[in-house]
Structure 1
Amino acid sequence: MEASKPEAAGSGRIVAVLAFGGIVASIMQTLVVPLLGELPTILDTSASNATWVATVTLLAAAVATPIMGRLGDLYGKRRMLLVSTVPLIIGSVVAALSTNLATMITGRALQGLGVGLVPLGISLLRDLVPPEKLGTSIALMSASLGIGGALGLPFASAIADYGSWRVLFWVSAALGAVIAVLYKVIVPDTEQRRESVGGFDYAGAVGLGVGLVALLLAVSKGADWGWGSGTTLGLFAAAVVVLVGWGVWELRTAEPMVDLRTTARPQVLLTNAASVVVGFAMYASSLLVPQLLQLPKATGYGLGQSMMAMGLWMMPGGLMMMAVAPLGGKLTGKHGPKLTLLLGTLVIAAGYGVSVFLMGAAWQLMVAMCVITAGVGLAYGAMPALIMGGVPQSETAAANSFNTLMRSIGTSVSAAVIGVVLAQMTTKLGPVTLPSENAFRTGMLLGCGVAVVAALITLTIPYRKAQAVTATEPAAPADLAPSPRP
């Protein structure tokens, strides 16, 4: 049963709250970047072990996102939004009080579970926002993933530079508590528990979690362990076996964790494929530009910026994404999300293309970043509209969560590939080995290339303007309708 949608004036507050929650959740992913150099001393561990503080959050987010989406479809999206704030708050407190690596990793893993706020919020918009505002609202909410990542760096740098590292996590806990209160007070509960809610696919959740952890662990740590090492190859093999088995199970069970028949529809499948590639392109700039800004000027190409200055130079990119998202929503409303996604990928490619020639000054890199993030804002805002235009309303949370997962896989692959490029193409500065100027140019060209690939994938998406996300239950053409379950 669904309540009537709020008036446009009231829906503005709802969108603002949901977007704020998404930004805070995504900040958790870049929260510890300014601390990575200090973590070995803080936690009395090695530099290699300290990287787990960042890696575990990405792994936890990847596993939790599709699970929370499915639970949102079953038990109510607002309810699961409130539930998602609990581990975010508890994890922040645990991290703030940590004195060793194990407790810090535990806290960071709990923080990662909060990333489910983003796809749940996107799906809830379909229930709460008037049709005329839906496209713009979805674009802003979807872009919060990138906005939070971009703004998290200067936010964390400022606190780390001028206060105790523990303050970072206390502020995170406070933000989590504020979000929970705002959800409770501002966001209405439009869903009632169904009489026949269906069962939760525990086996599917475990299988997906194990497969994703094996895959992303191999991708993210393969460079450290060696791509040909037994551990890395074993994890890749385990991921293939488990995920194939999981897919067979999902096709046979009556209440699947992810409806693979729905995700196999061309519109959904190709949008998810584009999401992986756009995720790669988005994250590459976040890896390349900060390092280039901070490398010493003595290299001849480094810009010698402090951590705080680097964060401030990166901030306009996040603000650009926030500014472009509503414009993308209006473009989607007028011409459809396929055109918006195509335009976004082409803008990303253009940004990377010009960045090859704009590496000589901090302001030049800032301009290139603003172009790239403008494209990301357009692309990220269009993806949920394409997804929700191709699935029934009862599956919007799960479908959006799966789409968010595809972006996460793209960012993980990006981290691995860019890491290899920077590690293999090096130069010497005295006794220190650093990534060479050609390494950064190669990384920028890779970002440009994958954005072009995303544009080509987008051209193949079979979207028709009539498939509006404002529809209550999108019609599935006969050839795309799911087959009866065995």
Structure 2
Amino acid sequence: MLDVLTKRKNTVTPTDRVAPKRPTGDLSLVLVLGLAAMIVSMMQTLVVPILSIIQSDLGTTTANVSWVTTATLLSAAVFTPLLGRFGDMHGKKPTLIGVLLLMIAGSVLAATTTSLLWLIVGRVLQGAATAIFPLALSVLREEIPPAKLHGAMALVSGTLAVGSGLALVAAGLLTRGSDPDYHRVFWLAVGLAALALVGVVLRVPSSRATTGGRTDWLGAGTLAALLVLLLLPISQGHEWGWSSARTIGLFVAAVVMAGVWVLVERKVRAPMVDMGMFAHRPVLFTNLAGLFLGFAMFSQFIGVAYLAQMPKELTGYGFGASVLRASVEYLLPTTLISLLAAQFGGILVGRIGARFTLAVGAVFGVAGFAWLTLAHDTSASIILAGLLIGVAISFGYAAMPALIVASVPHHQTGIANGLNSISRSVGSAIASAVITSLLASKTIQHLPAGAPALPAESQFTLSFAIAGVAFVLIVAVALVGLTKGAAQEYTVGKTADAAATDDDDAAAADETAVETVGVTS
């Protein structure tokens, strides 16, 4: 299969060459991009604790209000690869500015509307912000000297975990009280996005390495259709029924569309996604690791949040915590350790290589979920296990961009990291579906009359065990899939004659790409 995907030849234009890095305020640039990336994860997580408030205020059903999260997931799947590629072609700074403007527009709409339909439209616009992360990594690769790139990428990546945790705390604080107003949460998003926009305008330099060319609208459209057909049944399957004709039909349609997308990208002259790059072993296995990491991270978030809120007097387990207490006491420590561990992850990438950093982090994750599986009856166990998982997430976020950057040419950095972001989003969507279905599949019997259905404790145990298996699979990917011999940059297909006449340009680009990160020890 890999041979089939890599047969197609492409050409590299002179504008793909990488100019020497110019002096910049490295720290201020990294902080601005870190803030922008943090907003991405905050935007995705902010609404999770307030869905019940939105449902009550708008007088809608649980199934309808779930589209507030589903719409953003689908929007991110469509926009992230398209805008990542657009940034490669036409410049990262203008693309970042455009994305943040969409984020602000969507947040203002969500903050002012009292209609579920327009709220969903606002969330669709917010979903475009997911493209900020791969664009930020592209800027770092272009502007930060190689000696500092490991730490810079690790810090920006680490802000994703921080944003998720802070969003939960912020949502809890802004909606506490007897008359909670969910609109405040979206006004917070407006303010943060505006702050990031000012930072991008003032501190992010204009791109010097762009490819130009036409946008592959056919490839973008088929990829968007594929992701929507895949993510829609994953996110709504628990409502529709996993064996329903609608769910199965959409999964089948996704498989068909995947074949159509591959055929389209192999035929068009300037594909949005180079199939050779997509199937290149380091890229392919890094995306697989991203899928597992997204699954494990979201499993911890959902599992711990629900477990902490279980009323012990009815279930015999849990801590009866409010949303705010669950966020601050049980999830915020994971967030804080992720930020602290980010720099250590960057150092490890430079010293032992990205794939071994990924493996070391995954071992921490296995230990953390093993702890949760075996002992989740005390607050100390939940918090300490969360610290181990936080280190695992942070090391994973530090290693994966390094693996991608070292494995693709400069002009494909945006689209390659965009696809990796999508893989994590798909993993998170699968985790949400799996954990929700598991918790609903077995409930406690003989509850008092009028009490809501509550999951059996064994379902939390099973959920944590499955998440631990995801980290075991990451270890396997790092040590077996990402072998030393496979950790080489993908060379965009050139004919032998073209390569012979362009040795200097290719050598310059390869040298810049290879020197940035260590993939192996």
Which TM-score tier does this pair reach, normalised by the shorter chain? over 0.9
1:241-260 aligned at under 5 Å gives the runs 241-260=256-275
SS at match of 1:171: helix
Which segment drifts farther, 271-280 or 157-166? 157-166
Equivalences for residues 184-333 of structure 1 within 5 A = 184-191=201-208, 197-298=212-313, 299-313=315-329, 314-333=331-350
1:81 aligns with 2:96: yes
Question: Partner of 1:389: helix, strand, or coil?
Answer: helix
Query: Distance in 2 between the 1:128 and 1:51 partners?
Result: 40
Q: Alpha carbons of 1:474 and 1:252: their partners in 2 closer, same or farther (altered >3 Å)?
A: farther
Alignment partner, residue 395 of structure 2: 378
Output the CA distance in 2 between the equivalents of 1:398 and 1:55. Answer: 23
Residue in 2 that maps onto 1:462:
483
Matched residue of 1:117: which SS? helix
CA contact (8 A) 2:107 2:122 kept: yes
Aligned-partner SS, 1:427: coil
**1:115-130 correspondence to structure 2 within 5 Å:** 115-130=130-145
Following superposition of structure 1 onto structure 2, how do residues 367-446 of structure 1 map, counting pairs within 5 Å? 367-428=384-445, 429-431=447-449, 432-446=452-466
Query: Once the two structures are aligned, what percentage of the paired residues are identical?
Result: 36
Q: RMSD of the alignment, in Å?
A: 1.9
Offset at residue 311 of structure 1 (A) = 1.2
394-403 or 47-56: which moved more? 47-56
Specify every segment of 5 or more residues in structure 1 that has no aligned partner in the other structure, as ranges.
Answer: 476-486
**Which structure has more RCO (C-alpha within 8 Å, separation ≥ 6)?**
2
Amino acid at match of 2:104: I
Contact 2:92 2:207 in 1 (8 A): no
SS at match of 2:60: coil
Aligned 8 A contact 1:92 1:169 in 2? yes
The letter for the 2-side match of 1:340 is T
**2:505 alignment partner in structure 1:** none
Quote how far apart the aligned CAs of 1:131 are.
1.2
SS in 2 for 1:38: helix
Q: Partners of 2:23 and 2:225 in 1: how far apart?
A: 43
Q: Distance in 2 between the 1:358 and 1:140 partners?
A: 32
Structure 1 counterpart SS, 2:208: coil
State the Cα distance separating 1:457 from its structure 2 match: 1.3
Contact 1:21 1:117 in 2 (8 A): yes
2:26 corresponds in structure 1 to 11
What is the deviation of 1:7? 4.3
Amino acid at match of 2:341: V
Q: Which residue of 2 aligns with 1:481?
A: none
In structure 1, give the amino acid aligned to 2:479: L
**In the alignment, does 2:359 pair up with 1:342?**
yes
Matched, 1:451 2:466: no
Partner residue in 1 for 2:45 = 30
| Alpha-carbon distance in structure 1 between the residues aligned to 2:299 and 2:143 | 34
Query: 1:383/1:466 Cα in 2 relative to 1: closer, same or farther (>3 Å)?
Result: closer
**Greater mean alpha carbon deviation, residues 54-63 or residues 208-217:** 54-63
Counterpart for residue 478 of structure 1? none
In 1, the alpha carbon distance for the partners of 2:19 and 2:94 equals: 15
SS in 1 for 2:161: helix
Aligned to 1:479: none
Matched to 1:441, the amino acid is T
Q: Per-residue deviation at 1:124?
A: 1.1
Letter paired with 1:309:
R
- SS of structure 1 residue aligned to 2:273: coil
Q: C-alpha displacement at 1:143, in angstroms?
A: 2.5
Residues in 2 aligned to 1:430 and 1:216: alpha-carbon distance in whole angstroms:
37
Per-residue CA shift, 1:274-309, capped at 9, x if unaligned?
111111111110110000001112111021011111
Q: Which one-letter code corresponds to 1:23 in the other structure?
A: M
Task: Specify the SS of the correspondent of 2:135.
Answer: helix
CA distance in structure 2 between the partners assigned to 1:49 and 1:103 by the alignment: 13
Once residues 243 and 419 of structure 2 are traced to their aligned partners in structure 1, the CA distance between those partners, rounded to angstroms, is 30
Q: 1:143-170 CA deviation, whole Å, 9 max, x = no partner?
A: 2222211221111111111563211111
Contact 2:357 2:399 in 1 (8 A): yes
Q: Could you tell me how far apart the structure 2 residues matched to 1:164 and 1:419 are?
A: 26
Map Cα deviations across residues 400-454 of structure 1 (whole Å, 9 max, x no partner).
0011111111111111111221111221332432111100000111111111011
**8 Å CA contact retained: 1:131, 1:470:** no
Q: Matched residue pairs, number?
A: 472
Change (3 A) 1:3 1:181: farther
